[in-house]
């Protein structure tokens, strides 16, 4: 009976010792998880025509599903997906940049060869600078336009809700939004901003042969862009405005807000034939206005389609009385309004470079902390392994488990304290009392009165 109890005691002691070792190894594994490279990749209006951009546009209502699939990839830790009429970009922590373009191709059924020519991929500080430029409107078709910041905030919120954002990206995006606020507050980059909506109305004025106030304008959609278009149209004293949207309630609410008219979506063909100018901006994945709807037009019709993917079939331009324009046709108008803001853009870039460098420095500091903690844990593990092996041999020889445990604890404590004790004594001799204070803070020790107080 006594022998059995002794064996049981040995087994329990052995399990305690092995549990101690496991906990040390587990903690070390957590510390060894290194920060992944930051990557910003995708295509935008500078690198890809609308024909390609509309192929890789992500549906807003499915962003959560896209992100879930993305972070399920082995090499992706955090991810935010930004998809607008002018860009489809992915921001993530990943070791494998090549996997990201493959993921884009897979989800949009686009060949890698077709996407490669327009694809860009930035890493670490270059990636952070690019993301900050986007948020500040410095990479937009319209320099300094404010809508992109709201779109980026929405993309970040969606990623947070999906669970694809961790501590590193949470801090990064807070820094990005802070920079965007600083740029708008302390530079003139947003002064008298030109927007896609204002440029659209300017184009309408150019292509309509009469005064714009005399035109019958049909708006397709009821989102933020159409609301901005409405404001600019009314500033031009346009009276005859009709809104058509798949969701009649949204169209009616917008029409009441701006004191204009709305029509059922089923009457779209009739309204197209009545209009002089059509401006369309929806999130529809497929064309809303087809060539067949426009057959038999009795008067000229200017259609400005600023949606991506496009709302109007390209073949509609084959109709004799139709002039069809896309968002890319706004570039010349926008370029005319860029003069005088180059200096503001330079000042904004200086802020961006400074803030991106600060964030990289913070990341590097985290790396150094992780390396230091990992080295410290490795040292402890080596000491523990040595003492554990000694204790297990003692148990195998049948020594008293209680004495073995006490010996293990005493020996491990002495070895853990040896080097720190030597260094602290030396610091005391050399008068480096700041090191003593640091150790008190590090290990939450009771405060020791200073020499001056004594």
For residues 203 and 332, what is the distance between their CA atoms, to the nearest angstrom? Answer: 10
Catalytic residue among 10, 41, 85, 92: 85
Same domain, 264 and 182: no
How many structural domains is the chain composed of?
2
Same domain, 208 and 328: yes
For residues 242 and 222, what is the distance between their CA atoms, to the nearest angstrom? Answer: 11
Query: Is residue 216 assigned to a domain?
Result: yes
Residue 175: the pLDDT is 93
Query: Is residue 239 assigned to a domain?
Result: yes
Same domain, 118 and 148: yes
Threshold 0.85, pTM exceeds: no
Domain that residue 287 falls in: 196-336
Query: Is residue 431 assigned to a domain?
Result: no
Question: Cα(first)–Cα(last) distance of the chain, in Å?
Answer: 61
Among 349, 377, 405, residue at a domain's last position? 349
Among 324, 349, 374, residue at a domain's last position? 349
CB of 334 within 8 A of CB of 141? yes
Query: Is residue 263 assigned to a domain?
Result: yes
What percent of the chain has pLDDT above 90? 53
Residue 81: the pLDDT is 97
Query: Is residue 139 assigned to a domain?
Result: yes
Same domain, 139 and 250: no
Residue 15: the pLDDT is 56
Residue 348: the pLDDT is 87
CB of 23 within 8 A of CB of 77? no
Tens digits of residue pLDDT in 263-297:
999 999 999 999 999 999 999 999 999 999 999 99
Query: Is residue 175 assigned to a domain?
Result: yes
Residue 454: the pLDDT is 47
The CA-based angle 146-152-157, given to 5 degrees, is 135
CB atoms near residue 436 (< 10 Å): 15
Same domain, 100 and 227: no
The domain that holds 216 is classified in CATH as 3.40.50.720
Same domain, 42 and 174: yes
For residues 127 and 39, what is the distance between their CA atoms, to the nearest angstrom? Answer: 6
The domain that holds 150 is classified in CATH as 3.30.460.30
Same domain, 59 and 91: yes
Residue 444: the pLDDT is 80
The CA-based angle 301-56-140, given to 5 degrees, is 70
Same domain, 234 and 169: no
In the block, tokens 């064309």 appear at 287
Same domain, 208 and 134: no
Give the number of C-alpha atoms closer than 13 A to the C-alpha of residue 180, restricted to the C-beta side.
Answer: 27
Among 276, 306, 336, residue at a domain's last position? 336
Same domain, 45 and 174: yes
pLDDT along the chain (454 residues), means of 10: 42 54 41 67 95 92 92 90 95 90 91 94 94 93 87 95 92 94 83 78 93 95 94 94 95 95 95 96 94 94 96 95 94 71 81 88 70 75 84 87 85 82 80 78 71 48
* Number of residues that this document lists for the chain: 454
Same domain, 146 and 167: yes
Active-site residue 85, yes or no?
A: yes
Same domain, 203 and 156: no
Query: Is residue 290 assigned to a domain?
Result: yes
Query: Is residue 92 assigned to a domain?
Result: yes
Q: Look up residue 336 and give its two tokens.
A: 């005319």
């Amino acid at each position: 009976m006594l022998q059995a109890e002794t064996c049981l005691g040995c087994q329990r002691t052995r399990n305690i010792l092995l549990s101690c070792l496991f906990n040390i190894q587990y903690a070390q594994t957590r510390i060894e998880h290194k920060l992944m490279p930051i990557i910003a990749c995708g295509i935008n209006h500078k690198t890809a025509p609308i024909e390609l951009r509309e192929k890789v546009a992500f549906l807003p209502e499915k962003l959560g599903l896209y992100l879930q699939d993305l972070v399920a990839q082995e090499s992706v830790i955090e991810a935010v997906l930004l998809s607008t009429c002018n860009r489809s970009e992915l921001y993530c922590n990943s070791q494998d940049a090549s996997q990201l373009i493959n993921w884009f191709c897979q989800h949009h059924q686009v060949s890698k060869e077709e996407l490669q020519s327009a694809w860009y991929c930035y890493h670490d500080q270059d990636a952070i600078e690019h993301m900050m430029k986007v948020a500040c409107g410095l990479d937009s078709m319209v320099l300094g336009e404010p809508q992109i910041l709201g779109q980026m905030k929405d993309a970040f919120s969606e990623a947070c809700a999906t669970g694809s954002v961790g501590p590193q990206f949470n801090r990064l995006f807070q820094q990005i939004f802070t920079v965007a606020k600083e740029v708008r507050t302390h530079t003139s980059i947003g002064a008298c901003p030109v927007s896609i909506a204002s440029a659209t109305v300017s184009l309408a004025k150019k292509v309509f042969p009469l005064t714009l106030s005399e035109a019958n304008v049909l708006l397709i959609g009821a989102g933020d862009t159409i609301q901005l278009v409405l404001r600019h149209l009314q500033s031009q004293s346009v009276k005859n405005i009709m809104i058509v949207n798949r969701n009649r309630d949204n169209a009616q609410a917008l029409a009441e807000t701006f004191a204009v008219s709305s029509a059922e979506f089923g009457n779209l063909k009739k309204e197209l034939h009545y209009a002089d100018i059509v401006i369309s901006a929806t999130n529809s994945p497929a064309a809303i206005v087809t060539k067949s709807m426009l057959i038999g037009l009795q008067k000229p019709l200017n259609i400005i389609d600023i949606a991506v993917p496009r709302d109007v079939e390209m073949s509609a331009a084959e109709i004799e009385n139709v002039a069809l324009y896309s968002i890319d046709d706004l570039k010349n108008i926008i370029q005319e309004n860029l003069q005088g803001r180059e200096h503001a853009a330079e000042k904004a870039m200086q802020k961006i470079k400074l803030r991106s460098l600060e964030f990289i420095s913070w990341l590097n500091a985290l790396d150094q902390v992780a390396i230091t903690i990992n080295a410290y844990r490795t040292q402890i593990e080596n000491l523990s392994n040595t003492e554990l092996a000694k204790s297990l041999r003692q148990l195998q020889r049948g020594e008293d488990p209680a004495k073995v445990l006490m010996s293990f604890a005493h020996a491990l404590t002495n070895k853990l304290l040896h080097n720190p004790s030597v260094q602290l004594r030396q610091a005391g001799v050399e008068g480096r009392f700041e090191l003593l204070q640091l150790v008190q803070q590090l290990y939450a020790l009771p405060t020791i009165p200073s020499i001056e107080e004594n």
